[in-house]
């Protein structure tokens, strides 16, 4: 399949505007939809079709697109997301009576292998956030503004693990959005939906420590972002991933986790401690309970592990 991307057709541009203005989707989400539709348009044009004439697109066309993605060894999750983008577009066109049939109807998502997110156990999470251990490790390094950067790193990790923020939510925070003394932080989640996340005592302390030192990294004195990179601009996702990986390695963990892994750890540990699913859903900012329910698989796996190690029947069964 030719992966060069043609100009986005007018029909798709209308849909993008709808997502931005009426739905309030984030720029990152809109860009992802646009990439999917660009790729679909490239596939269509090879067959003499175009999204500007959607009536000629059938279910067979959509299935052919998925088959072409499969031949390119596209991951099943990515294929499912691209199909979701097409569903949204054609439902939008149908509501405006620009198509009479929806070609994505009856096309199922590729079956994906169930993959559990990598999470830390409680002891590992506490080790990562242990200021004393991290300071000891910091003394072996040679980086400018070491104290300021460590304060930033710990504050970021506390928001991901202690409050369950998405990395995008944490990095989008501005100084004016945060009042550690209030015990909460207001974040803009997916779909531009504001939610309130509680701050633990350690998160409040870490944020206050970082905000006292933050000015040392703000070279211009005008940057609004809460989390700054070494050069003074807003911290980006790649830098944040390196920070969390570094915090894990410096306390000797056998494997590092991603920023999202700390959020996974937050949810997993809450459920293991007996929190109810609806409360965790609210804390995570999930629109659907089914998204939160994936963590029940982690709980069941943990229960089986404990049973196998501790129950006398399990020891007998395993010949111990």
Query: Catalytic residues, which ones?
Result: 166, 190, 260, 263, 286, 295
Residue 233 makes CB contacts below 8 A (sequence gap 6+) with 223, 225
Burial 196-226 (b: 16+ CB within 10 A, else e): ebebeeebbbbbebbbebbeebeeeeebebb
Strand order in the sheet with 194-198: 178-179, 184-188, 194-198
Please tell me what DSSP assigns to residue 8: P
Give 294's Cβ-side CA count (13 Å radius): 13
Distance CA 51, CA 253 (A): 50
Q: Are 76 and 112 in contact (CB under 8 A)?
A: yes
Q: Cα separation of 187 and 170, whole Å?
A: 8
What tokens were used for 258? 């991603």
Residue by residue, DSSP assigns 117-157 as PP---HHHHHHHT-HHHHHHHHTT---TTHHHHHHHHHHHH
Q: How far apart are CA 251 and CA 109, in angstroms?
A: 41
> What is the rounded CA–CA span in Å between residue 285 and residue 169?
11
């Amino acid at each position: 399949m030719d992966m060069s991307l043609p100009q986005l057709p007018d029909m798709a541009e209308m849909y993008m505007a709808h997502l931005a203005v009426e739905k309030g989707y984030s720029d990152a989400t809109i860009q992802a939809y646009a990439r999917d539709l660009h790729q679909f348009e490239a596939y269509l044009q090879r067959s003499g079709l175009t999204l500007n004439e959607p009536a000629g697109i059938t279910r067979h066309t959509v299935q052919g697109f998925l088959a072409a993605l499969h031949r390119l060894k596209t991951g099943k999750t990515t294929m499912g997301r691209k199909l979701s983008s097409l569903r949204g577009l054609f439902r939008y066109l149908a509501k405006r009576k620009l198509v009479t049939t929806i070609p994505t109807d009856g096309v199922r998502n590729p079956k994906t292998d169930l993959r559990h997110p990598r999470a830390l156990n409680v002891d590992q999470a506490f080790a990562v956030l242990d200021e004393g251990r991290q300071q000891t490790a910091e003394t072996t390094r040679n980086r400018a503004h070491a104290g300021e950067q460590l304060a930033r790193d710990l504050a970021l990790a506390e928001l991901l693990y202690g409050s369950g923020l998405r990395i995008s939510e944490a990095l989008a925070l501005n100084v004016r959005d945060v009042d550690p003394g209030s015990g909460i932080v207001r974040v803009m989640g997916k779909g531009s939906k504001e939610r309130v996340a509680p701050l633990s005592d350690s998160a409040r302390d870490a944020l206050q420590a970082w905000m006292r030192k933050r000015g040392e990294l703000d070279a211009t004195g005008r940057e609004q972002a809460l989390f700054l990179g070494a050069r003074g601009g807003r911290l980006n996702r790649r830098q944040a991933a390196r920070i969390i990986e570094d915090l894990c390695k410096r306390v000797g963990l056998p494997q590092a986790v991603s920023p999202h892994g700390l959020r996974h750890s937050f949810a997993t540990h809450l459920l293991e401690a007996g929190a109810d699913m609806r409360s965790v859903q609210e804390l995570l900012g999930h629109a659907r309970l089914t998204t939160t329910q994936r963590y029940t698989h982690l709980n069941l796996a943990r229960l089986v592990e404990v049973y196998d190690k501790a129950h006398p029947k399990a020891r007998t069964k395993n010949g111990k």
